[in-house]
């Protein structure tokens, strides 16, 4: 993870809807969620959901898997944790505090 990659991820999450989508998917962990169920929970139209999922997918934050006629989406938890590590890597380094 570097500053350029982190910036791309933050840009992808800068929309309140995309952030809500990502948070819902992280709640489900490795189980993921069917797109229709995600749209119902968030109260957004399926076409709007698709637009936002595409943005999150291009950033690598969301992955999908075709399951019959449905598509199941998953948060990329490894990438999320890499971003957290990047953000906290130098936490309190110059203050002498323990984070």
Q: For position 59, what pLDDT does the model report?
A: 97
Q: For position 34, what pLDDT does the model report?
A: 96
Q: For position 17, what pLDDT does the model report?
A: 97
Correct CATH for 3-85 of 3.40.50.9100, 1.20.1250.20, 1.10.10.10, 3.40.640.10: 1.10.10.10
Q: Which parts of the chain have pLDDT scores under 50?
A: none
Q: For position 98, what pLDDT does the model report?
A: 73
Q: Which helix (H) or strand (E) holds 89?
A: none
CA distance 67 to 62: 16
Where are the domains positioned within the chain? 3-85
Q: Are 39 and 25 in contact (CB under 8 A)?
A: no
Beta-bridge partners for 63:
74
């Amino acid at each position: 993870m570097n500053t350029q990659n982190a910036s791309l991820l933050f840009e992808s999450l800068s929309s309140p809807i995309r952030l809500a989508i990502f948070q819902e998917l992280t709640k489900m962990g490795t189980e993921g969620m069917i797109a229709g169920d995600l749209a119902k929970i968030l109260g957004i139209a399926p076409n709007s959901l698709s637009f936002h999922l595409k943005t999150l997918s291009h950033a690598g934050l969301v992955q999908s898997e075709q399951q019959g006629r449905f598509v199941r989406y998953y948060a990329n938890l490894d990438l999320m944790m890499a971003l957290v590590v990047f953000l906290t890597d130098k936490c309190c380094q110059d203050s002498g505090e323990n984070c």
